[in-house]
Amino acid sequence: MNRKYYLFPLTLGLSDGIITTIMLVSRTLLSHEAISIGLALRVSSGSAFVGGFSFFVAEYSRLREEISRTSRQLVLRSPRYLIRGKIGKEILTEAVTGTTISVFAGFGGSLIPLLSSVYISGSGYFPVILAISALALLGGGIGKSVSGNYVFWVLTLVIIGILVTIVGNYLNLV
């Protein structure tokens, strides 16, 4: 598997972990309420678990669709020959590997604002600013790795972080 392949599950896991967590706990963070280590671990685990399932379903179905498209281009009767063979096992392995990366990255991304709130209790805006800063760094990394517009990626992820914070504060989920 190509090293560049790992960029997708890594960035998806990190961004999903940070954004989901901000959505869930922004009201709690902004109201200066304390977050326990137990709550931090539960939210991070839940975020990573859901993100991992979403990643696996999307990635495995995308890879299976590629097999189907390839079999049509090769004028094969059915993609089953490819899916049941070595290629089928490889796409399952690739999807599971990507899911594992995405889950660990999501867990880590989720812990960014939560652990800062645990260790600096009553810090209010600091965990949110830290999470949005992490999104900005992620945006910069994405921009650099895809030879994209660095400023565009940073601003896009910062704006997403701010919007999710506003919506999460309004929804008051946790």
Give Dmax over CA atoms of the chain in angstroms.
63
From first to last of its 174 residues, what are the pLDDT tens digits of the chain? Answer: 666 788 899 999 999 999 999 999 999 888 888 889 999 999 999 999 999 999 999 999 999 888 888 777 777 776 676 777 788 888 999 999 999 999 999 999 999 989 988 888 767 789 999 999 999 999 999 999 888 899 999 999 999 999 999 999 999 887
pTM: 0.87
Domain count, the chain: 1
* Residue 63, token pair as written in the block: 């890879």
pLDDT at 146: 86
pLDDT at 47: 95
Q: Domain limits at 157?
A: 3-171
Nearest alpha-carbon partner for 157 in 8, 3, 12: 12
Which residue has tokens 């304390």? 34
Q: What is the pLDDT of residues 24-42, one digit of tens each?
A: 999 988 888 888 999 999 9
59: left (phi over 0), alpha (psi -120 to 50) or beta: alpha
pLDDT at 89: 87
pLDDT at 122: 67
Nearest alpha-carbon partner for 94 in 63, 124, 72, 120: 63
Question: What's the start-to-end Cα distance of the chain, in Å?
Answer: 39
Q: d(Cα 124, Cα 165) in Å, to the nearest integer?
A: 12
DSSP string over 1-21? --GGGGHHHHHHHHHHHHHHH
